[in-house]
């Protein structure tokens, strides 16, 4: 399965490959080497996009699950909230998922610049915040850009409701996703360095 909105780039490259093949059959291309290079480049680009836009089905685990694939870069308490930050590299699945059943209360853009997403000052980068009403209280999910990853894609708007593991957006070419959780209601279940999968890996559990 491919991510939402993947059809256009994948289809465009596929059309180019078909055109090259048609020109080859018609004998229009000036030299065999041109055909080999063009087909090789086109196929490589299509394969990269197919891997990048992959969107496998996931079965949510118990508790609060990760919003992104990648590696946990920070688990920190900030006042009344826990921040669980996940760094995504270019080989990770880039579709982001709800960490818990939720209704989107608001979606807002902020920040400036495109610092490396693994650095602490990346918290000031261009970002998009999703404020959620959930059974464990207010939760915020923040998509952050990086040096290369500068496109934040949202699939939802304020008022939308979804289940844990539902897709709400993606980041093109990596970067970072933070989940901020109410410290009075949940406790982290991951540590820095852990590998996590969006919509599947438990990152926090309710406290009693």
Selection from 178, 123, 127, 129 nearest residue 149 by Cα: 127
- Contacts of residue 123, defined as CB under 8 A and 6 or more positions apart, other chains included, come to 144
Report the distance separating Cα 130 and Cα 208, nearest Å: 26
Q: Which of 106, 112, 175, 184 is catalytic?
A: 175
Instruction: Map residue 13 onto helix, strand or coil.
Output: helix
- Say whether 175 is catalytic: yes
Kindly write down the DSSP assignment for every residue of 95-140, as one continuous string. Answer: EEE-SSSEEEEEEEEE------TTSGGGGGSSEEEEEEEETTEEEE
Q: How is the beta sheet containing 167-172 ordered, strand by strand?
A: 95-97, 167-172, 151-154
Catalytic residue annotation: 175
């Amino acid at each position: 399965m491919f991510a939402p909105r993947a059809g256009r780039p994948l289809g465009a490259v596929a059309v180019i490959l078909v055109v090259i093949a048609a020109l080859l059959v018609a004998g229009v291309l000036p030299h065999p080497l041109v055909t080999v290079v063009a087909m090789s480049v086109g196929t490589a680009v299509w394969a990269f996009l197919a891997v990048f836009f992959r969107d496998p089905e996931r079965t949510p685990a118990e508790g609060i699950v990760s919003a992104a694939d990648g590696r946990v870069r920070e688990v920190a308490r900030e006042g009344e909230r826990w921040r669980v930050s996940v760094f995504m590299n270019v080989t990770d699945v880039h579709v982001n998922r709800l960490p818990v059943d939720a209704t989107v209360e608001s979606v807002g853009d902020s920040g400036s610049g495109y610092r490396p997403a693994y650095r602490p000052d990346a918290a000031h980068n261009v970002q998009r915040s999703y404020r959620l009403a959930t059974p464990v209280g207010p939760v915020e999910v923040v998509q952050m850009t990086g040096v290369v990853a500068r496109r934040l894609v949202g699939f939802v708007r304020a008022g939308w409701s979804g289940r844990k593991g539902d897709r709400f957006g993606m980041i093109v070419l990596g970067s970072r996703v933070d989940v901020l959780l109410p410290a009075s209601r949940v406790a982290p279940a991951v540590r820095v360095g852990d590998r996590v999968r969006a919509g599947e890996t438990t990152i926090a559990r309710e406290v009693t």
